[in-house]
Homo-oligomer: A and B are copies of this chain.
């Protein structure tokens, strides 16, 4: 029974790493689809999100089954509960990548992002991927010293988010209201993706140490 149990916990951990990879690659492709107005790529991100949703649902069921059958306590119980929260954050991150792909799709064959904001969204995508890759590493090695690094990267995302507003408010915005709305929502989606990555990393710390790190528990 114990062997099966720990094998199941370890398999759940593997699925979380796989799903982090899927969220990461959804975000990578969504950003690329957005900046190059690539319709097929946008569609593939939207289609792939359904797969993340299925994995989310399956993992919830497995966690429930583990709790029902094995009655874990202490660190094992924390691990199962942390897995439930992590999978729910990953599902939302997949949704956010899908939202970005949907905006790319809506504006095709045009590009949703005006040329002068392209570098900002290149950076936003790069930061988003840097975060998910660190989350994947954290899930694999539980080296919680990287959480501060994650938080610092998230600060860069917050700064980008503010810079988008500065650009929109700078003298007159020549790109019209559709582009303004798109850019506000896109920036929010990237910022929320980053928030989820950070909150997820904090769940890992909580699971490993039994405590949350200092920084305020929720934001965004």
Interface residues of A (CB under 8 A from B): 53, 56-57, 64, 67-68, 71, 73-74, 77-78, 81, 84-85, 88, 91-92, 95, 165, 168-169, 173, 177-178, 180-181, 184-185, 188, 217-220
Contacts and interface: CB of A to CB of B under 8 A. Distances in A.
Contact of A67 (B77, B168, B180, B188): B77
Contact of A177 (B68, B81, B95, B180): B180
A110 to B, nearest CB: 15
21 contacts: A53-B218, A57-B217, A64-B77, A67-B77, A68-B74, A71-B71, A84-B84, A85-B88, A92-B218, A95-B218, A95-B219, A95-B220, A168-B177, A168-B181, A169-B178, A177-B180, A180-B181, A181-B184, A184-B184, A185-B188, A188-B188
Given A180-B184, A185-B188, 19 more contacts: A53-B218, A57-B217, A64-B77, A67-B67, A67-B77, A67-B81, A81-B84, A95-B219, A165-B181, A168-B177, A168-B181, A169-B177, A169-B178, A173-B177, A180-B180, A181-B184, A184-B184, A184-B185, A188-B188
Interface of A is mostly: helix
A78 B63 CA distance: 11
3 pairs of A and B residues whose beta carbons are closest in the complex? A71-B71, A184-B184, A68-B73
Nearest to A206: B60
A184 B178 CA distance: 11
A132 to B, nearest CB: 19
